[in-house]
Structure 1
């Protein structure tokens, strides 16, 4: 049970015993008392064994959803919008009668988008044993910290769910009512705000942005304050200024302004050729930072930090109403990791390589027995006896708070469904 060789067999057990169908359905119907009416118009897609992709699935309740999961055993579940009619009827409806009505505001952050400055894993290290490691996961942490702050403080959103993608990224679901009903133009505006579009415009004129050391947009300044203390650690972990990697040195130094071209060339030649004891990345970054501060070029420092660590978003995922995103509590077929939700406040402690795996959960289930003297219908859910428990419980708290905010009774605790 320690491998993924029996993935389909394990997955069927997972859907029968561990996948929180009831809680998922309450979340996807936003806690509505008319859960069936809302849920029946929510689109699901399944990626079935053999890489068969099936869109426009829909279900009236959690029981039918669970039944189909066990029957089809999808390797991946994606979630889309709530439509004007049940998606399963899509083929029989005109385009006018079948349109997306609303969807959560979502964001997808994939560490492959950072491969130009991610040397421990990914494309620049094909020999890496894992798609991510502790070093490059720092990029995901930075993304969560920055995006979560902006969504809460700059836009006033409250119900924000972060989910580990199961391999090399994170997903964000903004579930506030106003966020769910944003049109594409508003979503695009938010994505552009979060993608440093204004910062890019400022950088086109390096003289005004860097020589005067003017203050950037407040959102950019906030991001710089959050990321600057983290930059040195990441820079060191990737050997960004190591003499053995001249291209990495050039990548950092390219952000020096035009009037410092001579200094940039001098530093490049010196750092590439000199590999003595005093040439560590830490010492070199400290030297460069002090020099720029003395020259009153703090914006150059911010420029380097932001272009390295600032979140890189897939705008298409966020803007398009027809775009689907992987469901929480899926199992990634290539890693076996469960796509678990986590609290952004605890992102520093979250370790993606320590989340439950499908084989380990099945193993834990095999060691668990339910006592016969427990009251009927009150026995613990199977997940409570596995490493999945804290993640489901956090998700339950999130869903109940979301329900309470919309005036719906939040006294919800999923009960085990005996399908054996």
Structure 2
């Protein structure tokens, strides 16, 4: 493990910066809840030691264990029928997951067939770069829109994974109590691109299994589900950057990539496809020239003028629509990395972020463990002594004195604001339940 990611640095981070109090407020949803003691945590320790079924009675207990064990990874799971730490002393039938946030995992490795700068098609060895990171940004905007507008969810916590992806925690009360069938239905609704290993992807929409393949329609334009059109509204203007020679994947400046893109032209445009492939492949351009953008604009103009706008959509969707790991979303017993934990391979903090400002999220410019500890060391001696040595000061006060002097401040303050909104909504739901006399009544999920 690199010197920028050590047990000593982790211990300082867990003791002085990790927002245990806010995390437990979020995971219990109201101060009267005893849900924390039944919430599962898992720790990965140095040496690939994996500890599941951890649970804690308070944020102080959680912080104490973090400082003691210094896990290199923290995962959060469901709320169980009993405290998970009792799993060895009770019957398995007495330990069942009862509820959990609806979660989504977007990892750029799932885009390896359409990204050429990093991953399996690249020799760079880099897991992510600024050429392929826009795929993650587009995914956030598409999934966030669908969850809010198509399903009516309001409380979505987006978190940078620390390396090459993002996570979404849907925290609405109705989402937390969904069964596996409902979670699967939502994940399937959001899954449009299926394929891989060089196989041409199939586009689906919601519970439609129909392939929207323009080759199969002759001269008839494929008709897309409204959710697909909504995604295209987001993705279309971002595709220029994605295919760019200078800033993207240079789709039109490489014959193999060009032929892959042109393969989406329908059969009646076969002559055009072959002509463009021959002309553009023969005319090799200097990579410094923005050839891909010029050629994309040429193709886009031709298809629009000839009434084939949905062929454009088909191309854009197959290359840039979000690719989800459905299994992460469907299972109640699946754990997901905690916000604010540290990625062991990068040292990056898994920071929450505003999805509407995702274009400002730079994976190479987020707080790192080493930087945060250095920032703490620059705090005045008075603040340092007060936050570490005065036993009369609460752990929450120590935390406030620490994070406000670091680059983690804006992320923690955003998280705090998010929690306030979630708790306000939760209290409103509880008041309605008390009036109606039904503690298990939840707002229905909109039909799709």
Does TM-score exceed 0.5, indicating one fold? yes
Aligned pair 1:253/2:273, yes or no? Answer: no
Match of 2:306 in 1: 295
Comparing 96-105 with 263-272, greater Cα deviation is found at 263-272
**Residues 17, 402 of structure 2: 8 Å contact kept:** yes
TM-score normalised per structure 1: 0.91
User: Which secondary structure state, in structure 2, belongs to the residue aligned with residue 92 of structure 1?
Assistant: coil
Aligned pair 1:281/2:288, yes or no? Answer: no
User: Which secondary structure state, in structure 1, belongs to the residue aligned with residue 93 of structure 2?
Assistant: coil
Could you tell me how far apart the structure 1 residues matched to 2:219 and 2:367 are? 50
User: Which secondary structure state, in structure 2, belongs to the residue aligned with residue 290 of structure 1?
Assistant: helix
Match of 2:275 in 1: 266
Could you tell me how far apart the structure 2 residues matched to 1:103 and 1:362 are? 33
**Residues 48, 76 of structure 1: 8 Å contact kept:** yes
CA positional deviation for 1:214: 5.0
Aligned pair 1:198/2:205, yes or no? Answer: yes
CA positional deviation for 1:137: 1.1
**Residues 163, 328 of structure 1: 8 Å contact kept:** yes
Match of 1:64 in 2: 61
Stretches of structure 2 lacking an aligned partner (at least 5 in a row): 193-203, 430-448
User: Which secondary structure state, in structure 2, belongs to the residue aligned with residue 400 of structure 1?
Assistant: helix
Matches for 1:315-394 after TM superposition, within 5 Å: 315-369=326-380, 370-371=382-383, 380-394=400-414
Cα 1:210–1:51 change in 2 (3 A) is farther
Matches for 1:180-199 after TM superposition, within 5 Å: 180-196=176-192, 197-198=204-205
Matches for 1:28-43 after TM superposition, within 5 Å: 28-34=27-33, 37-43=34-40
Could you tell me how far apart the structure 2 residues matched to 1:373 and 1:317 are? 42
**Residues 271, 279 of structure 1: 8 Å contact kept:** no
CA positional deviation for 1:79: 0.5
CA positional deviation for 1:261: 2.6
Match of 2:224 in 1: 216
- 1:375-419 deviation per Cα after TM superposition (whole angstroms, max 9, x unaligned): 95556430111101100010011111111111189xxxxxxxxxx
Could you tell me how far apart the structure 1 residues matched to 2:186 and 2:270 are? 35
Aligned pair 1:15/2:14, yes or no? Answer: yes
For 1:167, which of 151, 163, 167 is the aligned residue?
A: 163
CA positional deviation for 1:126: 3.1
CA positional deviation for 1:271: 1.6
Cα 1:201–1:254 change in 2 (3 A) is farther
Match of 2:195 in 1: none
CA positional deviation for 1:311: 0.4
Comparing 400-409 with 265-274, greater Cα deviation is found at 400-409
Could you tell me how far apart the structure 2 residues matched to 1:279 and 1:27 are? 47
CA positional deviation for 1:255: 0.8
CA positional deviation for 1:115: 1.2
**Residues 31, 402 of structure 1: 8 Å contact kept:** no
Cα 1:202–1:232 change in 2 (3 A) is farther
Cα 1:235–1:254 change in 2 (3 A) is same
Residue-pair matches, total: 402
Stretches of structure 1 lacking an aligned partner (at least 5 in a row): 410-420
CA positional deviation for 1:348: 1.5
Could you tell me how far apart the structure 1 residues matched to 2:357 and 2:330 are? 28
CA positional deviation for 1:276: 5.2
Could you tell me how far apart the structure 1 residues matched to 2:219 and 2:5 are? 61
CA positional deviation for 1:80: 0.5
Cα 1:376–1:63 change in 2 (3 A) is closer
User: Which secondary structure state, in structure 1, belongs to the residue aligned with residue 334 of structure 2?
Assistant: coil
Match of 1:114 in 2: 111
Aligned pair 1:50/2:78, yes or no? Answer: no
Superposed CA RMSD in Å reads 2.2
Aligned pair 1:395/2:395, yes or no? Answer: no
Comparing 245-254 with 173-182, greater Cα deviation is found at 245-254
**Residues 48, 72 of structure 1: 8 Å contact kept:** yes
Could you tell me how far apart the structure 1 residues matched to 2:415 and 2:302 are? 47
Cα 1:304–1:15 change in 2 (3 A) is same
- 1:154-178 deviation per Cα after TM superposition (whole angstroms, max 9, x unaligned): 1000010000000000000000000
